[in-house]
Chain A
Amino acid sequence: MTDTSVTTISPPGTVQAQRNAGAGFWPSAIVVARRTVRKFVRTPQLIVYSSIQSVLFLLIFRYVFGGAIDVGGLPYVDFLVPGFIVTGVVFAGMGAAAGVAEDVEQGLFDRLRSLPIRRASVVAGRGLADTALVTWGLLIAAALGFAVGFRLHGSVAAALAAFGLCVLFGFAFSWVFITIGLLAGNAQAAQGMSMIVSPLVFASSAYVPVSSMPGWMQAVSDNQPVTPMVNAVRTLTGGPQMEALLGHSSGYYVGLSLIWAAAIVVVFGLLAVVRFSRR
């Protein structure tokens, strides 16, 4: 840091405490990220409730609604599980909003803001941690998917690419929820505000084919981020038959979902950093 070159004159005979240069950007981001991960791991309620909720969700769609949903003759489980995984990434991110709001409320962020570190590094650390937590949730969701009968119809490389995309979506959505947490003021408000995202999840291709919706709803569904994200994962894991059902190639959906993810990161990442650094 260039700041440290400025010297102050210390009065003679007094002990001058050293100036603290502070940690660099990435070291502080990692320290902040470790704290968020530790908090998650050591708060079993967080893990248990979110896992139970997602298991029930999967079972209900797979075994209750599934029989009534026609996906062009393909097994519904192969249609559902990519939707379940991507929306799981979104739902997992919601916890970040409440967590961030709590940190604001309880003064932990004030302490971090008073330390000699780049303020953006705190926000970056939170984003890193949330991405790590989302990845953990993804692994569980994928395992559950396979357990209820989901199978790959494409290459392993394509499946790995799908996994990577999901991590990226998690990273992108974590910025939305970090921003909500910073704006909300308290944890309850943050939770309420993040519920706004639920319609986005349901009004998408995640659980049912878009073609089964009325025309105006199809327009909503096609022009929001969750649909191309789900379809990207779906076409990468479902192979040519799934591409035929959805009407576009995997390349098309991957490209479109990457654009959405990039736009979300830029807009909400900036909002979060500006909001956190403001004084």
Chain B
Amino acid sequence: MTPILEAAGLTKRFGKTQALAGLDLVVKPGRVVALLGPNGAGKTTFVRAVATLLRPDTGTLQVAGINALRHPAQVRQVIGLAGQFAAVEPAMTGRENLEMVGRLFGLDRRRARAAAAAVLDQIQLTEDADRLVRTYSGGMRRRLDLGASLVGAPRLLLLDEPTTGLDPGSRVQLWDAIRQLVAAGTDVLLTTQYLDEADRLAADIVIIDHGTVIAAGTPSELKTRAGDDVIEVHVRNAAALPEVAAVLATVGRDPRTDLAMHRASVAVEDGTSRLMEAVRALDRVGVAVEDISLRRPTLDEVFLTLTGKPTDTAGPEAA
């Protein structure tokens, strides 16, 4: 099966910044892949290279079997791009925007009109289709932007931080729209700083940092790799946290404390028996425990384990 995307040894330097530092990635068709990483990790640079908006310095890049460095014009025939910034014209209506893109994709007037109507339906903007975009909310603009990338029925849809800056309600709406596309069989490559977004939308997650892939796999594979389970202890009095952390250090590795949340946690190998040990040990030192639980690690913790530093841009729902 031809991979929908195949990158090998991609590098790109902007002045002193090494945006891509030998990135390797193979994406099979029929999967939604999320590129996850903090600001400046190289996510956007990679998407722009795939969209043929910039040329990598070295390396090879195949999109749907097309050599993107030698035949960028052919790549543009099979991709759709929706950016971080809503690239729609505010002085035109939603319908006019989509018809414009349809015409540029080479559809005649009638087919452009039909495609626009179908997409408006899909992104649930039919009711507002004939209002000027400058009267739209941020979430509606973003949905329209997504719609504009769909008019050409692309084989590969590139979504660069599709929900950055949106309120929670609009995020959920956009997620729904993306999920429907996926169900309809479009391959999607999306970038995000939000761990929960990657977890909810993607079948595969690729974590990148400093321009290279540092981990890839399904969400549960990545969670497993970062440690099996997490013991989390909540206390009433934050002053007791150092003591709790000392106890947790005896059952797992690298306990973490969160003063603001009155919380300490530790990754452990054999969850259930370590939990019992922790409860007994805490009881011996006599700390007043509010709540103690055993759970799977969050992607935030996965990221911390894999990169050795926390995501400085965790999403609202990320723990």
Contact = CB atoms under 8 A, between A and B. Distances in A.
A4 B73 CA distance: 10
A108 interface: yes
Interface in B168-187: 185-186
Given A39-B91, A107-B83, A279-B54, A3 B155 contact: no
A23 B106 contact: yes
B64 interface: yes
B77 interface: yes
Contact of A15 (B65, B105, B154, B185): B185
A107 B132 contact: no
A117 B1 CA distance: 29
B148 interface: yes
B52 A279 contact: yes
B144 to A, nearest CB: 12
Given A31-B103, A31-B104, A35-B89, A22 B83 contact: no
A8 B85 contact: no
Interface in A1-50: 1, 3-4, 6, 8-9, 11, 14-23, 27-28, 31-32, 34-35, 38-39, 42-43
A114 interface: yes
Given A108-B87, A111-B87, A35 B103 contact: no
B81 interface: yes
B76 A107 contact: no
A106 B103 contact: no
A17 B104 contact: no
B28 to A, nearest CB: 10
Nearest to B149: A111
Contacts of B53: 110, 113-114, 279
A106 B153 contact: no
A110 B74 contact: no
Interface in B96-121: 96, 100-101, 103-106
Contact of A39 (B83, B86, B89): B89
B91 A115 contact: no
A108 B2 contact: no
A112 interface: yes
B271 interface: no
7 contacts: A18-B153, A35-B100, A110-B87, A114-B53, A115-B76, A116-B77, A279-B53
Interface of A: 1, 3-4, 6, 8-9, 11, 14-23, 27-28, 31-32, 34-35, 38-39, 42-43, 106-108, 110-117, 279
Closest 6 pairs (CB-CB, A-B): A107-B87, A107-B85, A39-B91, A111-B87, A114-B81, A116-B76
Given A20-B152, A115-B76, 11 more contacts: A1-B73, A3-B77, A22-B106, A31-B104, A39-B91, A42-B91, A113-B53, A115-B104, A116-B73, A116-B77, A116-B105
